[in-house]
Amino acid sequence: MTKYRYYNNQRLILSVTLLIPLAIMMLLIGNLIPQNVYSHANPTSFTPSSNSVVGENGTLPEKAVIVFSERPEPKASYIRVTNSDNERVDKNDYAVSADNPRESSISIDTSKLKQGIYTVSWLALSRDDGHITKGSYVFTVSKASNRSETDVRAITNNDFANSTTIDNVNVTYRISPFYSGINNNFTVSLSDSDGKVPTNVKTVLLIFSNKQAELGPISAELTKVGEGEYSGSGGYLSQPGEWEVKMIVQRNEAYDLNHSFTFNIKNPP
């Protein structure tokens, strides 16, 4: 990918001059085409919600429900709920609601919900525009009432860490304690070649996928915790195996920094 910044104003003015008529054209064309051509069937709500902890009050979710922005075609769409051993804990009864054609759900076999991280993976073929969208998210089952001593034992750290330089920005990333099926901490540190912190960073995103287990993409936005330091915690690495992580650093008035990395991860010993 070619990268350049707007170092000189002339180039910037030229690009803006070219962009205005283009933007007007896009607006005119956009108004002639029904809106849903651009939207696809994207999830607008998840139950249980993304990254939530359930079960602490003794109630377990009996369904996974996803509402989409368009109508999913039931014959070609799915929702699957899997545990950290990639075993399905749903009842394989995917259905679109009779009351709301944009809402679909699958029943969960609550007898199979033990303490741990669960992945909800979905695919939707839109009846409105024929496009396919897919993704995953995770939730945690925590049974505080019957938590045993062994569940809270300290897990030995097994950190994964690496560095790269993209567009003169040094990027260091770390995953800790680096076991699947539990919460991990994800940190990204950014500095330029002089060791200074870049000031134009908007967001740092991590997008996780595990092709073998058909999980993902699962998106996580990290929080700024210090100068050039971004961090987040979650059960995104919900199952063992090979994962690919796409890291995207979005910047003001500069191209995104993109870096992908893969690794193998195991469930805790």
Shortest distance, position 19 Cβ to Cu ion, whole Å: 25
Shortest distance, position 36 Cβ to Cu ion, whole Å: 7
* Longest distance between any two alpha carbons in the chain, whole Å: 67
Shortest distance, position 73 Cβ to Cu ion, whole Å: 13
Q: Considering only the stretches 24-32, 130-138, 220-228, 239-247, report the one whose residues sit in contact with Cu ion under the rule CB under 5 A.
A: 130-138
* Other residues' Cβ atoms within 10 Å of the Cβ of residue 65: 17
* Spatial separation of the C-alpha atoms in residues 72 and 125, rounded to whole Å: 5
Please identify, using beta-carbon distances, which residue of 36 and 191 lies nearer to Cu ion: 36
Kindly state the tokens that stand for 233.
């915690």
Q: Considering only the stretches 37-45, 87-95, 139-147, 150-158, report the one whose residues sit in contact with Cu ion under the rule CB under 5 A.
A: 37-45
Please identify, using beta-carbon distances, which residue of 23 and 132 lies nearer to Cu ion: 132
**Residue numbers 67-126 binding Cu ion by CB under 5 A:** none
Q: How many residues contact Cu ion, by CB under 5 A?
A: 3
CA atoms within 13 A on the CB side of 144: 7
- Out of 60, 67, 88, 129, which residue is the one contacting Cu ion (CB under 5 A)? 129
Kindly state the tokens that stand for 261.
């990395």
Give yes or no for a contact between 220 and 190, defined as CB atoms under 8 angstroms apart.
Answer: no
Please identify, using beta-carbon distances, which residue of 131 and 174 lies nearer to Cu ion: 131
Kindly state the tokens that stand for 33.
């085409």
**Residue numbers 205-244 binding Cu ion by CB under 5 A:** none
Please identify, using beta-carbon distances, which residue of 40 and 143 lies nearer to Cu ion: 40
- Out of 63, 91, 112, 131, which residue is the one contacting Cu ion (CB under 5 A)? 131
DSSP3 helix / strand / coil % (the chain, rounded to 5)? 15, 45, 40
Q: How far apart are the first and last CA of the chain?
A: 42
Chain residues that interact with Cu ion, rule: CB under 5 A: 40, 129, 131
